[in-house]
């Protein structure tokens, strides 16, 4: 794979590929009335696409907006509506479907607490499904939810815990929510990715755990995530890009400096920065100082979208009524 910058976002990887390398990958951007809400679908269609992107074959939908990290309630409702519709497109949910929602991550570390926080606001009904009155039976589906923690807390492989529960309750779908890593600082807390390919917890920060997918769990896994961190090398790389752009624009084209700067690839820059930072900083990741309030906003957006998509009786006007 060409890209060396650490990212969980399929769109970022696709944008880093040349036109020739994009064979096997379709990138489709939707037109939306608000230019600050960007919806893009990346379809990885075959083995060639898998090899070029390093991502499994499937559909990756990205919703980007700076509204997500701001206190824009009306805009949040728009994003919730979009997200719930995208969840629905990736799932063939029946009236009697059972859905297991899993919140991945460490609830003691704010940038990694998105999954557990979402679980606390998901409307769970599996335990009362037998007692639901007939007049509202059509309005809700059987939903269970839990947060397995991380190996450092439980001493157990997260995937094994989930595997055991899946074998016991036999859901039709698993929805896994996790914090991700971005390859661009502009995407921190402003991007939601949803895919039908499953998830590998911890992959964005180089701490790969057992893959959660149809292959390992036996049921389709819908993965949802938000990049809440970026590694330090990527942060410095973004800054260096601005500096290089300024230097290139001011340097004389015939000079050796211009040729050196113009011919430096993204991978060259990233590798140089990584080698400089690693001895002193180690594997350092960065998150915004206001991450606490932003995670709370993202929690509400994702939890409400899940509730609306899974329970037909919950509409946009019911947002926050059940959580």
pLDDT, one tens digit per residue, over 71-124 is 999 999 999 999 999 999 999 998 889 999 999 999 898 889 999 999 999 999
The pLDDT > 70 percentage for the chain reads 74
pLDDT for 3 beyond 50: no
Q: Given pLDDT bands bounded at 50, 70 and 90, which one contains residue 293?
A: very high
Q: Given pLDDT bands bounded at 50, 70 and 90, which one contains residue 1?
A: very low
pTM above 0.85, yes or no: no
pLDDT for 268 beyond 80: no
Q: Given pLDDT bands bounded at 50, 70 and 90, which one contains residue 287?
A: confident
- What is the pLDDT at residue 186? 87
Rounded Cα–Cα distance for residues 115 and 109 (Å): 11
What the chain holds in terms of domains, given with CATH numbers, is 10-228+289-318 (3.40.50.1450), 235-281 (no CATH)
Burial class (CB in 10 A: 0-12, 13-18, 19+), 70: middle
Look at residues 68, 67, 49, 66 and name the one whose alpha carbon lies nearest to residue 58: 49
- What is the pLDDT at residue 146? 95
Mean pLDDT in the chain? 84
Rounded Cα–Cα distance for residues 295 and 261 (Å): 38
156-160, 163-167, 233-237, 301-305: segment of lowest average pLDDT: 233-237
pLDDT tens column, 121-157: 999 998 886 666 565 556 788 999 999 988 888 888 8
pLDDT tens column, 206-226: 556 688 999 999 999 999 999
Instruction: Please state, as a whole number, how many other Cβ atoms lie within 10 Å of the Cβ of residue 94.
Output: 9
- What is the pLDDT at residue 315? 72
Buried b (16+ CB within 10 A) or exposed e, 218-249: ebbbbbbbbbbbbbbbbbbbeeeeeebeeeee
Alpha helices in 98-175 (DSSP H): 114-119, 134-137, 151-154, 158-169
| Range 159-171 average pLDDT | 95
Residue with tokens 């819908």: 222
Quote the crossing angle between the two packed helices 232-250 and 266-281, to the nearest 10°: 130
51-60, 143-152, 157-166, 227-236: segment of lowest average pLDDT: 227-236
Instruction: Please state, as a whole number, how many other Cβ atoms lie within 10 Å of the Cβ of residue 278.
Output: 13
pLDDT for 2 beyond 60: no
- What is the pLDDT at residue 278? 60
């Amino acid at each position: 794979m060409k890209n060396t910058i650490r990212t969980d976002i399929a769109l970022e990887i696709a944008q880093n590929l040349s036109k020739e390398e994009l064979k096997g990958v379709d990138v489709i951007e939707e037109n939306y009335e608000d230019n600050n809400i960007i919806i893009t679908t990346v379809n990885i269609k075959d083995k060639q696409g898998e090899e070029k992107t390093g991502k499994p074959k499937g559909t990756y939908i990205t919703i980007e907006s700076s509204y997500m990290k701001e206190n824009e309630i009306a805009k949040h409702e728009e994003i919730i509506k979009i997200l719930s519709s995208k969840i629905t497109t990736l799932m063939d949910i029946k009236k009697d479907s059972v859905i297991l929602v899993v919140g991945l991550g460490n609830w003691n570390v704010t940038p990694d607490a998105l999954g557990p926080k979402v679980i606390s606001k998901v409307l769970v009904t599996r335990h009362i499904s037998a007692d639901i009155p007939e007049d509202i039976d059509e309005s809700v589906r059987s939903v269970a939810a839990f947060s397995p923690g991380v190996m450092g807390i439980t001493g157990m492989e997260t995937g094994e815990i989930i595997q055991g529960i899946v074998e016991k309750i036999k859901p039709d779908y698993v929805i896994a929510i996790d914090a991700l890593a971005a390859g661009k600082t502009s995407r921190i807390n402003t991007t939601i990715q949803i895919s039908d390919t499953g998830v590998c917890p911890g992959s964005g920060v180089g701490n790969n755990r057992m893959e959660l997918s149809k292959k390992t769990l036996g049921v389709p896994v819908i993965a949802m995530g938000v990049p809440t961190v970026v590694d330090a090398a990527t942060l410095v790389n973004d800054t260096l890009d601005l500096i290089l752009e300024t230097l290139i624009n001011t340097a004389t084209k015939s000079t050796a400096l211009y040729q050196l700067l113009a011919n430096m690839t993204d991978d060259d820059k990233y590798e140089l920065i990584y080698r400089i930072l690693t001895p002193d900083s180690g594997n350092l990741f960065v998150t915004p100082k206001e991450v606490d309030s932003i995670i709370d906003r993202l929690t509400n957006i994702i939890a409400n979208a899940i509730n609306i998509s899974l329970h037909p009786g919950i509409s946009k006007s019911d947002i926050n009524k059940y959580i």
